[in-house]
Amino acid sequence: MTSVTTPANFKELGLITPLLARVTELEYLQPTPIQAQAIPSVLAGRDLIAGANTGSGKTATFALPMLQHIFQQQDADKRLTSKKKQGNYVTGLILVPTRELAKQVADSIKSYAAHLNGAIKTLAVFGGVSVNTQMLALRGGTDILVATPGRLLDLISSNAIKLDLVSTLVLDEADRMLSLGFTEELTALLALLPKKKQILLFSATFPEQVKALTQELLNNPIEIQVQSADASTLVQRVFTVNKGDKTAVVAHLIKQNEWRQALIFVNAKHHCEHLAEKLAKRGITAEVFHGDKGQGERSRVLDGFKAGDIEVLIATDIAARGLDIEKLPVVINFNLPRSPSDYMHRIGRSGRAGEVGLAISLIDHEDYHHFKIIEKKNKIRLEREQVKGFEVAEVSSDSITAAAKPMAKPEGTGKKKRKKKPAINADIWSGYTDPE
Ligand code: AMP
CA distance 129 to 151: 10
Residue 436: CA atoms inside 13 Å, Cβ hemisphere, count?
23
When the pLDDT of each residue in the chain is averaged and rounded to a whole number, the result is 82
Instruction: Single out the residue in 195, 225, 255 at which a domain terminates.
Output: 225
Ligand 1 center from residue 354 Cα (angstroms) = 9
Residues 242-250 have a mean pLDDT of 93
Q: Which of 20, 22, 32, 39 to mutate to test the pocket of ligand 1 (most atoms within 8 A of CB)?
A: 32
**Do 17 and 163 belong together in one domain?**
yes
pLDDT the model gives residue 160: 95
The model's pLDDT over 11-65, given as tens digits with 9 standing for 90+, comes to 999 999 999 999 999 988 888 889 999 999 999 999 999 988 777 889 999 999 9
233 lines ligand 1 (CB under 6 A): no
Q: How far is the CA of 108 from the centre of ligand 1 (A)?
A: 9
CA of 227 to the centre of ligand 1 (A): 14
Q: Does residue 432 lie in a domain region?
A: no
Q: What pLDDT, on a 0 to 100 scale, did the predictor assign at position 385?
A: 85
Last residue of a domain, one of 177, 202, 225: 225
Q: How confident is the model at residue 317 (pLDDT cuts 50, 70, 90)?
A: confident
- Rounded Cα gap, residues 147 and 93, in angstroms: 8
> Taking 70 as the threshold, does the pLDDT of residue 229 lie above it?
no
Q: 219, 184, 231, 223: which is closest to 203 by C-alpha?
A: 223
Confidence of residue 417 (pLDDT cuts 50, 70, 90): very low
Residue 304, amino acid: G
Measured distance CA(223)–CA(4) in Å, rounded:
10
Q: Please give the distance, rounded to the nearest whole angstrom, from the Cα atom of residue 174 to the centre of ligand 1.
A: 19
Which ligand 1 atom sits nearest the alpha carbon of residue 53?
A: 2
What is the per-residue pLDDT across 191-213, written as a single tens digit (0 to 9) for each? 999 999 999 999 988 888 888 88
**pLDDT over threshold 70, residue 414:** no
pLDDT tens digits along 69-108: 999 988 777 766 545 566 899 999 999 998 889 999 999 9
Q: Which helix (H) or strand (E) holds 331?
A: strand 330-333
Residues 155 and 240 in one domain: no
Residue 418 falls inside a structural domain: no
> For 91, what's the count of Cα atoms within 13 Å in the CB-facing half-sphere?
20
Residue 35 lies in a domain: yes
Q: Last residue of a domain, which of 225, 240, 255?
A: 225
Q: Does position 421 have pLDDT exceeding 50, yes or no?
A: no
Residue 4 falls within a domain, yes or no? no
CA distance 382 to 237: 7
Q: Domain holding 195: CATH number?
A: 3.40.50.300
Domain membership flag for residue 288: yes
Q: What are the φ and ψ backbone dihedral angles of 60, each rounded to 5 degrees?
A: -65, -30
| Furthest C-alpha separation in the chain | 79
DSSP symbol at 319: G
In this prediction, residue 327 has a pLDDT band, given cuts at 50, 70 and 90, of: low
- Kindly state if the Cβ of 60 falls inside 6 Å of ligand 1: yes
In ligand 1, which atom is closest to the CA atom of 324? Answer: 4
73: in domain: yes
Domain count, the chain: 2
262 compared with 180, residue with greater pLDDT: 262
Which residues, at least 6 apart from 296, have a Cβ–Cβ distance to it below 8 Å?
none
pLDDT of the residue at 427: 22
What percentage of the chain reaches a pLDDT higher than 70? 82
Report residue 188: phi and psi, to 5°: -60, -40
Would 425 be classed as within a structural domain? no
Report the atom number in ligand 1 closest to the C-alpha of 326: 10
pLDDT digits (tens, 9 = 90+) for 337-362: 988 888 888 887 777 655 667 899 99
Residue 131 placed within a domain = yes
Any residues with CB less than 8 A from the CB of 215 and at least 6 apart, and which?
Answer: none
What tens digit of pLDDT does each residue of 356-374 get?
678 999 999 999 999 999 9
pLDDT at 81: 53
**What integer pLDDT is reported at residue 46 of this predicted model?**
96
pLDDT value of position 431 = 25
Nearest-10 Cα torsion for 415, 421, 423, 428: 90
Q: Are residues 312 and 259 in the same domain?
A: yes
CA gap 113, 200 in Å, rounded: 19
Distance from Cα 155 to the centre of ligand 1, integer Å: 31
Q: Is 172 in the pocket of ligand 1 (CB under 6 A)?
A: no
Give the pLDDT confidence of 115-130 residue by residue, as tens digits: 998 889 999 999 988 9
Alpha-carbon gap, residue 62 to 94, rounded angstroms: 9
Shortest-distance atom of ligand 1 to CA 56: 2
Instruction: Look at residue 403 and tell me whether its pLDDT is greater than 50.
Output: no
Range of the domain at 311: 231-385
**Is 54 near ligand 1, meaning CB less than 6 Å away?**
yes
Q: Tell me which H or E stretch contains 360.
A: strand 357-363
